[in-house]
Amino acid sequence: MRNIRMTIGYDGTDYHGFQVQPGVPSIQAALIEAIAAITGETAAVHGSGRTDAGVHARAQVVNFVTSSRLPADRWCQALNARLPNDIVVWKAEEAPLTFHARKSSKRKTYCYTINGNRYPDPLNRRTEFHHPGSLDVSAMREAIRHLEGEHDFTSFCSVRAASESKVRTVYEAQLTQTAVEGMESATGVGRLRLFFTGNGFLYNMVRIMAGTLLAVGEGKLHAAEIPRILQARDRALAGPTAKPYGLSLWSVEYEL
Amino acid sequence: MRNIRMTIGYDGTDYHGFQVQPGVPSIQAALIEAIAAITGETAAVHGSGRTDAGVHARAQVVNFVTSSRLPADRWCQALNARLPNDIVVWKAEEAPLTFHARKSSKRKTYCYTINGNRYPDPLNRRTEFHHPGSLDVSAMREAIRHLEGEHDFTSFCSVRAASESKVRTVYEAQLTQTAVEGMESATGVGRLRLFFTGNGFLYNMVRIMAGTLLAVGEGKLHAAEIPRILQARDRALAGPTAKPYGLSLWSVEYEL
């Protein structure tokens, strides 16, 4: 048996998330089907994490164990020929049998993209949240720093989150601001990207952090309130859950 | 009567080009319909130029004359509320009655985007041409310089081009190379962008220049052959017409 580790990207718009669910399209089901077409086997495909319905990925990592003898460098082409064009396998390599895309992962980075111009960018409308109202970007910069570090993120996860411990470490939280290219003269703050790198993220955690930072940008919350919201461990105090389509799983890191 | 000048962006994927054609969707028809819904008038909407079926725009400029008294700064919101979400008006201002989006334009910039990685980027598949084979980027850089300047571009336009004179000036032709973000470790040359700024472009001219540069990248043509191809005034000597969906009208400049 061999363990194949792959890096995949997808446009999540037309999927009900990563995980297999009966009767609806999912990334995992599409992968299982394409692998079965090649190997005749129904493989268990493990992802580094589930992405919600509508969430995208630049570099999701998955693995599966197979008896197929297809060389590692042939999997990309073989699978891409069978996958729909909104899912792409762009790296495949053989991994030790002990490798597990979720259990072995050390750090993950997510990116939440906000188009803060007055009018949306039609060419990126599937992958960014459009916020036409004014945003105080320096307040958002101040707020995002309070999310870095080891915290109990109970206030920043869905009340439906199953994890026992809500303590996670956000190693890095950054806001970048760039013009929407080709629309440099458009009115507004341009494109904001919120990058979060952590050892793990609770259910809806990135979307709630993004929604809370948007509330800070709108002046509905003060940046200085973030520490108190964290301490309160009360989901009701943080901002709303931001729309899924602005979110992308950016990268997953493993120990060598 | 007032002359309204607008800057619009669109995802051209689902349109048969800018220009009205009977029985098929076009950008111009969508604009005329949305303007009519506001004013009750069927306006003549002039674009800075036609874009082909499947070609996009970041900053296409259009104008129309209307008797409506709607202030210039209200047109964006009013039209965007009525337009499909793949067309966005992001700037509107009042212009002198003598202003004409095409006749008054001085310089236009187009961008042709090539993803030169082995596997495509699912999140940008509508707006870039995927070229999985190897490309000699330095040969392409050398070739693109030969396209700058005033030339007879007969070899670089469709034999169906109607213009009498095929002489045009390309003020600037540039190739940029960046990583496909989030996929930095993917195999290949990354994302190449070909920017062409000129006083006007003949039918299919940018797509033929892009196709010719791709032929140079593939080693099918030498960069040094470009001057000879220009001089020959023979469409058969240049490369193929590149796919429309990699092309975007980037900006249009006018004299102040």
Nearest-angstrom CA–CA distance, A220 and A137: 13
- B81-101 average pLDDT score: 97
User: Tokens 């009750």 map to which residue?
Assistant: B40
- A227-252 average pLDDT score: 97
- B9-13 average pLDDT score: 98
Nearest-angstrom CA–CA distance, A10 and B32: 36
Is there a domain that residue B62 lies in? yes
Nearest-angstrom CA–CA distance, A147 and A152: 10
CB B237 within 8 A of CB B155: yes
Do A142 and A223 share a structural domain?
yes
**pLDDT tens by residue, B41-85:** 999 999 999 999 999 999 999 999 999 999 988 999 999 999 999
- A31-55 average pLDDT score: 96
Q: What is the CATH number of the domain that holds A6?
A: 3.30.70.580
Is there a domain that residue B239 lies in? yes
Domain that holds residue B68: 2-95
Q: What is the pLDDT of residue B255?
A: 85
Residue B159 has pLDDT above 90, yes or no: no
**pLDDT tens by residue, A154-187:** 999 998 877 789 999 999 999 999 999 989 889 9
A119 touches B: beta carbon within 8 Å: yes
- A111, closest residue in chain B (CA to CA): B182
Q: What is the pLDDT of residue A73?
A: 85
Do A237 and A189 share a structural domain?
yes
The domain tally of chain A equals 2
Residue A158's CB is within 10 A of a number of other CB atoms, namely: 14
Higher-pLDDT residue of B219, A162: B219
Question: Which pLDDT band holds residue B199 (cuts at 50, 70, 90)?
Answer: very high
Question: In this structure, which amino acid lies at residue A108?
Answer: K
A256 touches B: beta carbon within 8 Å: no
CB B8 within 8 A of CB B32: no
Is there a domain that residue B82 lies in? yes
Q: Which residues of B are part of a known binding site?
A: 110
Residue of A59, A85, A183 lying closest to B125 (CB–CB): A85
Nearest-angstrom CA–CA distance, B136 and B132: 13
Do B246 and B120 share a structural domain?
yes
Q: Which of B14, B52, B86, B121 is catalytic?
A: B52
Q: B58 and A123 in contact by Cβ < 8 A?
A: yes
Do A229 and A179 share a structural domain?
yes
Question: Which pLDDT band holds residue B256 (cuts at 50, 70, 90)?
Answer: low
Q: What is the pLDDT of residue A161?
A: 77
**pLDDT tens by residue, A76-122:** 999 999 999 999 999 999 999 999 999 999 999 999 999 999 999 99
Do B199 and B134 share a structural domain?
yes
Q: A85 and B185 in contact by Cβ < 8 A?
A: no
A139 touches B: beta carbon within 8 Å: no
Q: Which of A199, A201, A198 is nearest to A174 (CA)?
A: A198
Residue that finishes a domain, picked among B70, B95, B120: B95
Share of chain A above pLDDT 90, in %: 94
Q: A11 and B120 in contact by Cβ < 8 A?
A: no
A37: left (phi over 0), alpha (psi -120 to 50) or beta: alpha
A56 contacts on B by Cβ (under 8 Å): 123
ipTM, two decimals, is 0.92
Containing A214, the helix (H) or strand (E) segment is helix A205-217
Question: Which pLDDT band holds residue B162 (cuts at 50, 70, 90)?
Answer: confident
Do A122 and A91 share a structural domain?
no
* Cα A129–Cα A137–Cα A168 angle in degrees, nearest 5: 75
Q: Is B76 helix (H, G, I), strand (E, B) or coil?
A: helix
Do A52 and A144 share a structural domain?
no
Question: In this structure, which amino acid lies at residue A150?
Answer: E
**pLDDT tens by residue, B202-211:** 999 999 999 9
- B130, closest residue in chain A (CA to CA): A85
Question: Which pLDDT band holds residue B160 (cuts at 50, 70, 90)?
Answer: confident
Residue of A11, A181, A187 lying closest to B123 (CB–CB): A11
Q: What is the CATH number of the domain that holds B172?
A: 3.30.70.660
Do A129 and A223 share a structural domain?
yes
Residue of B11, B86, B91 lying closest to A186 (CB–CB): B91
Is there a domain that residue B243 lies in? yes
- B6, closest residue in chain A (CA to CA): A186
| Mutate which: B58, B86, B180, vs A, most A CBs within 10 A | B58
Q: Give every CB contact of residue A165 below 8 A, 6+ residues apart in sequence.
A: none
Q: What is the pLDDT of residue A177?
A: 98
**pLDDT tens by residue, A179-220:** 999 898 899 999 999 999 999 999 999 999 999 999 999 999
Residue of A123, A126, A250 lying closest to B9 (CB–CB): A123
Nearest CA-CA distance, residue A180 and chain B, Å: 10
Is there a domain that residue B101 lies in? no
Q: What is the pLDDT of residue A76?
A: 96
Is there a domain that residue B100 lies in? no
A118 touches B: beta carbon within 8 Å: yes
Q: Is B152 helix (H, G, I), strand (E, B) or coil?
A: strand
| Mutate which: A93, A124, A183, A187, vs B, most B CBs within 10 A | A183
What is the DSSP-derived secondary structure letter of residue B224? G
Residue B119 has pLDDT above 90, yes or no: yes
- A58, closest residue in chain B (CA to CA): B182
Is there a domain that residue A100 lies in? no
A132 contacts on B by Cβ (under 8 Å): none
Do B111 and B163 share a structural domain?
yes
Q: A58 and B127 in contact by Cβ < 8 A?
A: no
Question: Which pLDDT band holds residue A10 (cuts at 50, 70, 90)?
Answer: very high
Do A80 and A58 share a structural domain?
yes
B11 a catalytic residue: no
Do B225 and B141 share a structural domain?
yes
**pLDDT tens by residue, A112-146:** 999 999 999 999 999 999 999 999 999 999 999 99
Residue that finishes a domain, picked among B48, B66, B95: B95
B179 touches A: beta carbon within 8 Å: no
| Mutate which: A8, A13, A55, A58, vs B, most B CBs within 10 A | A58
- Residue A187, both tokens: 């009115």
Residue of A76, A80, A183 lying closest to B59 (CB–CB): A183
Nearest CA-CA distance, residue B199 and chain A, Å: 18
- B72-101 average pLDDT score: 96
Nearest-angstrom CA–CA distance, B45 and B106: 19
- B8-13 average pLDDT score: 98
Do A221 and A121 share a structural domain?
yes
Is there a domain that residue A197 lies in? yes
Question: In this structure, which amino acid lies at residue A226?
Answer: I
Residue A256 has pLDDT above 90, yes or no: no
